[in-house]
């Protein structure tokens, strides 16, 4: 019986959607679903969610909930990672402390100072997961959703290169979905390919029935001046290819948008937006808990858009499909650094996930991608070597941070964030974590 493990299953809304997408397939064998979390209350809600979703689709999986990670991983075939180390309190620190210093972020979980410190407190836990997997389920697929995506997948390639690690993000799919809706073209039958880095990949090909759809997008932008007040449209206008993440995420990868109140207003950005999103997630958890306790049906979104259920379905049934995946660059994108983590199309079948060599991406896109990959590389090196200067140099390299703060201010900000996150950081980087493998 194939065993699917959810790490961080207490993220009940996401767990619910992944399970719904999985149980929509009626040709899967009987499954063993193992839910793991460090929070007993959240774990109980996750179990109730899994039981209800399975029943609604007429499935009868074996469902196990445990607070013991090693118990959860024993015998796993697929490990879906969606942990958030530090929780909403860590998110508040990542966003509010830099804001007080004059550095604005919108999401702060993937790049910039927020992404750097989120990565540094996630790496020790990933190291522990990797060690457990090598001992208990060395042949399992590690399907990562946790941000910062590129940094986390990169870290796994350092501490456990023999594990089958793939980073999964729905940004490419939803970008194409929304663009098709904007120009009034059905997504079904659309051909698209994107490549670059997570949250800053480039939609290099987008067509339907042989027609390049970019001219239609340019016409839509020309007709609607308000569209030109969106970050992604501005990037598309300047770079020539559409980036594959929301304007909120995209704004943090560059120095163009969050550097001044005028730019923030012009492009309709909301600094600290992820604090509100996190609070909404907490409210959604409380709502799900109440709904399950009352025996009422949970709301389910339509469609099988998430990649993890598709990967599992392909491997278990032999169904071939193409997704976009975050993997180590081994000859995949010729003008991005070897060994970095890139996002490319990948073929999935019974034998696993097979990234497709892309060749060179547009030079102007690669130039921007390299800046982010430098931030990621310095962050990984900081954790690998225990050199706290690399942490500060990673933030200094970030375009948004360096557009708002001086080097002296960046050093001081990193000192404060290190102190605030000390319980999750290793001693070598200024934290209190004695054993970096959790």
Residues known to be catalytic: 170
Q: What is the DSSP letter of 53?
A: H
- Those residues whose C-beta lies under 8 Å from the C-beta of residue 73, and which sit 6 or more positions away, are 5, 36, 79, 129, 132, 133, 136, 137, 140
- Those residues whose C-beta lies under 8 Å from the C-beta of residue 283, and which sit 6 or more positions away, are none
Instruction: With H, G, I as helix, E, B as strand and everything else as coil, classify residue 385.
Output: helix
CA angle 214, 217, 222 (to 5 degrees): 130
Is residue 228 within 8 Å of 354, Cβ to Cβ? no
d(CA 177, CA 419): 42
Peptide bond preceding 148 in cis form (omega within 30 of 0): yes
Angle between helices 273-293 and 87-100 (to 10 degrees): 160
Instruction: With H, G, I as helix, E, B as strand and everything else as coil, classify residue 213.
Output: coil
Angle between helices 171-183 and 214-223 (to 10 degrees): 60
Beta bridge partners of 66: 36
Q: Which residue bears the tokens 């492009």?
A: 267
Phi, psi of 352 (to 5 degrees): 130, -155
Nearest to 38 by CA among 83, 71, 81: 83
Q: Do strands 164-168 and 321-328 pair parallel, antiparallel, or not at all (unpaired)?
A: antiparallel
- Those residues whose C-beta lies under 8 Å from the C-beta of residue 260, and which sit 6 or more positions away, are none
- Those residues whose C-beta lies under 8 Å from the C-beta of residue 403, and which sit 6 or more positions away, are 255, 258, 259
């Amino acid at each position: 019986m194939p065993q699917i493990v959810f790490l961080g299953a207490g993220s009940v809304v996401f767990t619910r959607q992944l399970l719904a997408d999985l149980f929509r397939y009626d040709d899967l064998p009987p499954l063993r679903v193992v839910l793991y979390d460090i929070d007993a209350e959240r774990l109980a809600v996750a179990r109730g969610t899994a039981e209800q979703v399975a029943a609604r689709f007429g499935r009868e999986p074996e469902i196990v909930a445990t607070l013991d990670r090693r118990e959860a991983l024993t015998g796993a075939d697929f490990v879906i990672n969606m942990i958030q180390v530090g929780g909403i309190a860590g998110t508040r620190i990542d966003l509010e402390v830099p804001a007080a210093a004059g550095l604005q972020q919108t999401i702060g979980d993937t790049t910039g100072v927020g992404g750097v410190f989120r990565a540094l407190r996630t790496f020790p836990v990933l190291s522990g997961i990797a060690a457990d997997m090598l001992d208990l389920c060395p042949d399992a697929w590690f399907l990562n959703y946790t941000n910062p995506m590129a940094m986390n997948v990169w870290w796994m390639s350092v501490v456990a290169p023999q594990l089958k690690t793939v980073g999964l993000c729905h940004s490419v799919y939803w970008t194409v979905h929304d663009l098709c809706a904007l120009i009034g073209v059905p997504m079904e039958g659309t051909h698209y390919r994107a490549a670059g880095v997570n949250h800053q990949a480039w939609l290099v090909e987008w067509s339907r029935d042989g027609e390049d759809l970019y001219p239609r997008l340019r016409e839509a932008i020309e007709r609607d001046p308000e569209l030109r007040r969106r970050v992604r449209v501005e990037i598309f206008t300047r770079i020539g290819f559409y980036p594959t993440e929301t304007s909120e995420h995209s704004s943090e990868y560059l120095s163009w948008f969050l550097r001044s109140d005028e730019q923030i207003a012009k492009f309709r950005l909301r600094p600290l937006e992820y604090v509100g999103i996190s609070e909404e997630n907490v409210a959604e958890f409380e709502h799900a808990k109440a709904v399950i306790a009352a025996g009422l049906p949970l709301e389910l979104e339509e469609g099988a858009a998430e990649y993890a259920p598709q990967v599992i379905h392909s491997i278990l049934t032999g169904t071939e499909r193409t997704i976009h995946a975050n993997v180590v660059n081994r000859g995949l994108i010729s003008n991005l650094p070897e060994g970095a983590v890139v996002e490319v199309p990948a073929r999935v079948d019974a034998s696993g996930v097979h990234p497709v060599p892309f060749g060179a991406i547009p030079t102007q896109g690669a130039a921007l991608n390299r800046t982010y990959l430098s931030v990621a590389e310095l962050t990984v090196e900081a954790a690998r070597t225990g050199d706290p200067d690399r942490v500060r140099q990673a933030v200094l390299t970030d375009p948004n941070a360096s557009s708002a703060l001086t080097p002296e201010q960046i050093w001081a900000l990193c000192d404060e964030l290190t102190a605030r996150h000390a319980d999750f950081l290793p001693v070598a980087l200024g934290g209190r974590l004695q054993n970096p493998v959790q």
